[in-house]
Amino acid sequence: MINFIDSQNDSIDVHTANVQNIERLILHIHGQQVMIDSDIAILYGVDTKVLNQAVKRNNTRFPERFMFRLTQKEKNELVTNCDRFEKLKHSSTCPYAFTEQGIAMLSSILKSKTAIEVSIQIMDAFVAMRHILMSNVHILSELESIKQHISKSETHQLETDKRIDELFKKMDLYKIENKKGIFFKGQIFDAYVKFENFLQSAQSSIILIDGYVDITVLERLSKKRENVNVELYTSSHATITQTDIKAFNDQYPTLTVNYTTKMHDRFLIIDNKTLLHIGASLKDLGKKCFAFEELDASLIPTIISNV
Q: Residues 6 or more apart from 210 whose CB is under 8 A from it?
A: 217, 232, 233, 234, 266, 278, 281, 282
| Residue 229 counted as domain residue | yes
Mean pLDDT score of the chain, rounded to an integer?
A: 83
pLDDT band at 89 (very low <50, low <70, confident <90, very high): confident
Decide: 266 and 210 in contact? Cβ < 8 Å: yes
pLDDT at 288 over 80: yes
pLDDT at 113 over 80: no
| pLDDT average, residue stretch 205-226 | 93
Please state, as a whole number, how many other Cβ atoms lie within 10 Å of the Cβ of residue 14.
18
Query: Do residues 296 and 186 both lie within one domain?
Result: yes
Among 135, 158, 183, give the residue marking a domain's end: 135
pLDDT at 179 over 90: no
Q: What's the total number of domains in the chain?
A: 2
> Sheet of 96-99: strands edge to edge?
27-29, 32-36, 96-99, 67-69
Query: Do residues 298 and 181 both lie within one domain?
Result: yes
pLDDT at 254 over 60: yes
Query: Do residues 269 and 179 both lie within one domain?
Result: yes
| Residue 278 counted as domain residue | yes
Long-range contacts at 109-114 (CB < 8 A, ≥ 24 apart):
109/54, 109/55, 109/57, 109/58, 109/61, 110/44, 110/46, 110/51, 110/54, 112/44, 112/45, 114/44, 114/45
| Residue 158 counted as domain residue | no
Beta strand extents in 14-131 (DSSP E only): 27-29, 32-36, 67-69, 96-99
Among 78, 109, 135, give the residue marking a domain's end: 135
Q: Which of 66-75, 128-137, 207-216, 217-226 has the lowest mean pLDDT?
A: 128-137
Give dist(CA 277, CA 265) in Å, integer.
8
pLDDT band at 300 (very low <50, low <70, confident <90, very high): very high
| Residue 127 counted as domain residue | yes
Decide: 66 and 75 in contact? Cβ < 8 Å: no
| pLDDT average, residue stretch 239-263 | 93
Which position has the higher pLDDT, 128 or 12? 128
| Residue 297 counted as domain residue | yes
| Residue 146 counted as domain residue | no
Q: What's the pLDDT at 7?
A: 42
| Residue 239 counted as domain residue | yes
Query: Do residues 124 and 193 both lie within one domain?
Result: no
Query: Do residues 194 and 262 both lie within one domain?
Result: yes
What proportion of the chain, given as a percentage, has pLDDT over 70?
Answer: 84
Query: Do residues 31 and 101 both lie within one domain?
Result: yes
Which position has the higher pLDDT, 175 or 284? 284
pLDDT at 8 over 50: no
| Residue 159 counted as domain residue | no
Decide: 78 and 3 in contact? Cβ < 8 Å: no
CA distances from 192 to 10, 257, 274, 285, 304 (A): 69, 21, 18, 7, 25
| Domain membership of residue 69 as a residue range | 9-135
Q: Which of 69-83, 159-173, 184-198 has the lowest mean pLDDT?
A: 159-173
Decide: 172 and 178 in contact? Cβ < 8 Å: yes
Give dist(CA 205, CA 208) in Å, integer.
10
On the question of a cis peptide bond just before residue 99, with omega within 30 degrees of 0, the verdict is: no
pLDDT at 86 over 50: yes
Query: Do residues 184 and 76 both lie within one domain?
Result: no
Reduce the DSSP state of residue 111 to 3 states and report it. coil
Query: Do residues 188 and 291 both lie within one domain?
Result: yes
Query: Do residues 21 and 100 both lie within one domain?
Result: yes
Reduce the DSSP state of residue 185 to 3 states and report it. coil
Query: Do residues 215 and 278 both lie within one domain?
Result: yes
Decide: 300 and 275 in contact? Cβ < 8 Å: yes
Query: Do residues 18 and 120 both lie within one domain?
Result: yes
pLDDT band at 94 (very low <50, low <70, confident <90, very high): very high
Query: Do residues 293 and 179 both lie within one domain?
Result: yes
